[in-house]
Amino acid sequence: MAISGFAEFWPQYVRAHSRDRTRLLHAIGSVLAVVMLGVAFAISLWFLIAVPIVGYAFAWYAHFFVEKNRPQTFAHPFYSVLADYRMTFLMMAGRMEREVTRYMPSALAEDTTEREASQATR
C-alpha cells in the first residue's frame, strides 16, 4: 500500500499497535534507545550500535509475540520511528487511548476486557 504522508500512515500505525502491552513495549524500547544515545555520547560512541538494537528489540518482540503482526520498519522506516515517538509522547500525556479508540474502537474494548479478566484471576 502506497503511503503519501505521515497523516495517512498514522491510523495504520495505531491499528498495528492496538494492545496496551504492544504500546508499552514500544515505549520502553523508545525510551531506552534515547538513554543509550546519551550513554554513547557520555561514555563511548561504540554504544551507538546499541541504540537501534535496544529500540527495535522491544518493538519487534511486541509485534511478533503480543500483537502477532509484522512491523512496518522496513516498508516505512522514517514514518515508523516518527510514529514510535509520537505514540510514546501521547502515552506519557495520557492521550494514546483516545487515538486507539479513534482509529480502532473495538480494540480498546477487547484489550480492556482481557485486562479485567486477568485481574479477576489474580
The C-alpha atoms of residue 79 and residue 90 are separated, in whole angstroms, by: 16
pLDDT (tens digit, 9 = 90+) per residue, 11-66? 999 999 999 999 999 999 999 999 999 999 999 999 999 999 999 999 999 999 99
At 105 the pLDDT is 67
The C-alpha atoms of residue 6 and residue 25 are separated, in whole angstroms, by: 22
Rounded mean pLDDT of the chain? 88
Chain position carrying cell 512491523: 71
At 111 the pLDDT is 53
**pTM for the model:** 0.81
Q: Could you tell me the residue ranges of all domains in the chain? A: 16-120
3-state helix/strand/coil string of the chain: CCCCCHHHHHHHHHHCCCCHHHHHHHHHHHHHHHHHHHHHHHCCHHHHHHHHHHHHHHHHHHHHHHHCCCCCCCCCHHHHHHHHHHHHHHHHCCCHHHHHHHHCHHHHHHHHHHHHHHHHCC
At 47 the pLDDT is 95
Is pLDDT above 50 for 113?
A: no
Give me the percent of the chain exceeding a pLDDT of 70.
Answer: 84
Sequence letter at residue 8: E
The C-alpha atoms of residue 13 and residue 80 are separated, in whole angstroms, by: 8
